[in-house]
Amino acid sequence: MNNLRVAFVGCGGIGDHYLSVYRELDFVEVVSCIDANIERAERAVEALDGKPRAASNFDDALSPDVDVVVINTPNHLHREQAVATLEANKHLLLQKPVAAKVEDAEAIVEAARRAKQRGVVSGLYLSYFDQPLMHDLREMIQRGWFGGVAHLYARLMHRGGIALSQQVRNGQSNWRASIELTGGGCFIQLAVHYVHLFKWMMGARVERVMAMAKNQHCPGVEGEDLACAILEFSNGALATIDMAWNTAGEQLSIHGTRGTCEYIGNQTLMLDSLEGDFTGYVVNYSGASSQVSPAAPGAAAAQQVTTVIAPPLGDWRNKFNQHRVFLEAVRDGREPFVSIESGVDDLRVVNAVYESAVSGCAAEVAHS
Ligand SMILES: NC(=O)c1ccc[n+]([C@@H]2O[C@H](COP(=O)([O-])OP(=O)(O)OC[C@H]3O[C@@H](n4cnc5c(N)ncnc54)[C@H](O)[C@@H]3O)[C@@H](O)[C@H]2O)c1
Give per-residue pLDDT as tens, 343-367.
Answer: 999 999 999 999 999 999 999 999 9
Question: 285: pLDDT confidence band, cut at 50, 70 and 90?
Answer: low
Who's near 196: CB < 8 A, 6+ residues apart?
96, 126, 128, 338, 342, 343, 346
Residue 131 Cβ inside 6 Å of ligand 1? The answer reads no
pLDDT more than 90, % of the chain: 86
- d(C-alpha 357, C-alpha 250), whole Å: 22
Residue 95 Cβ inside 6 Å of ligand 1? The answer reads yes
Residue 35 Cβ inside 6 Å of ligand 1? The answer reads yes
- d(C-alpha 206, C-alpha 171), whole Å: 40
In ligand 1, which atom is closest to the CA atom of 127?
A: 3
**Closest of 319, 333, 283, 310 to residue 25, by C-alpha:** 319
Segment 196-237, tens digit of pLDDT: 999 999 999 999 999 999 999 999 999 999 999 999 999 999
Residue 53 has pLDDT above 80, yes or no: yes
| CA of 263 relative to ligand 1 center, distance in Å | 28
Asked if residue 344 lies in contact with residue 109, where contact means CB atoms within 8 angstroms, the answer is: yes
- How do the domains of the chain map onto residue ranges? 4-128+317-339, 130-310+348-359
* Comparison of pLDDT for 299 and 314, the residue scoring more: 314
In ligand 1, which atom is closest to the CA atom of 16?
A: 16
Residue 72 Cβ inside 6 Å of ligand 1? The answer reads yes
Residue 165 has pLDDT above 60, yes or no: yes
Pocket test for ligand 1, best of 8, 9, 11, 14 (most atoms within 8 A of CB): 14
Asked if residue 190 lies in contact with residue 160, where contact means CB atoms within 8 angstroms, the answer is: no
| Model pLDDT, residue 297 | 62
Asked if residue 55 lies in contact with residue 29, where contact means CB atoms within 8 angstroms, the answer is: no
Pocket test for ligand 1, best of 33, 42, 57, 73 (most atoms within 8 A of CB): 73
Count of beta carbons in the 10 Å neighbourhood of residue 26: 7
Q: Whose CA is nearest to atom 28 of ligand 1?
A: 36
Segment 300-329, tens digit of pLDDT: 667 788 888 889 999 999 999 999 999 999
**Closest of 299, 280, 264, 271 to residue 154, by C-alpha:** 264
Count of beta carbons in the 10 Å neighbourhood of residue 273: 22
Answer CATH for 130-310+348-359 from 3.30.420.40, 3.30.70.3270, 3.30.360.10, 3.50.50.60: 3.30.360.10
Which run of H or E residues covers position 39? helix 38-47
Q: Could you give the 3-state DSSP secondary structure of residue 226?
A: strand
Residue 152 has pLDDT above 90, yes or no: yes
Name which of 2-6, 35-39, 282-286 the model is least confident about: 282-286
Residue 12 Cβ inside 6 Å of ligand 1? The answer reads yes
Class of domain 4-128+317-339: alpha beta
Task: Calculate the CA dihedral of residues 149, 350, 186, 139 and round it to 10 degrees.
Answer: 30
| Model pLDDT, residue 210 | 98
Which amino acid, one-letter code, is at 223?
G
Residue 290 has pLDDT above 60, yes or no: no
| CA of 315 relative to ligand 1 center, distance in Å | 20
**Sheet arrangement for strand 289-292:** 289-292, 302-307, 268-273, 259-264, 249-256, 149-157, 238-244, 226-233, 206-214, 363-364
Q: Whose CA is nearest to atom 29 of ligand 1?
A: 36
Average of per-residue pLDDT across 45-67? 97
Residue 38 Cβ inside 6 Å of ligand 1? The answer reads no
DSSP 87: H
| CA of 125 relative to ligand 1 center, distance in Å | 13
Residue 183 Cβ inside 6 Å of ligand 1? The answer reads no
In ligand 1, which atom is closest to the CA atom of 34?
A: 33
Residue 306 — φ and ψ, nearest 5°? -145, 160
* Comparison of pLDDT for 76 and 274, the residue scoring more: 76
Q: What pTM was computed for the model? A: 0.96
Which amino acid, one-letter code, is at 205?
R
Q: Whose CA is nearest to atom 7 of ligand 1?
A: 14
- d(C-alpha 79, C-alpha 85), whole Å: 10
Q: Whose CA is nearest to atom 1 of ligand 1?
A: 127
Which amino acid, one-letter code, is at 186?
C
Rounded mean pLDDT of the chain?
94
DSSP 361: S
Residue 182 has pLDDT above 90, yes or no: yes
Residue 260 has pLDDT above 90, yes or no: yes
| CA of 48 relative to ligand 1 center, distance in Å | 19
Residue 95 has pLDDT above 90, yes or no: yes
Name which of 204-218, 236-250, 285-299 the model is least confident about: 285-299
| CA of 76 relative to ligand 1 center, distance in Å | 10
In ligand 1, which atom is closest to the CA atom of 189?
A: 43
| Model pLDDT, residue 286 | 55
| Model pLDDT, residue 238 | 98
Q: Whose CA is nearest to atom 16 of ligand 1?
A: 13
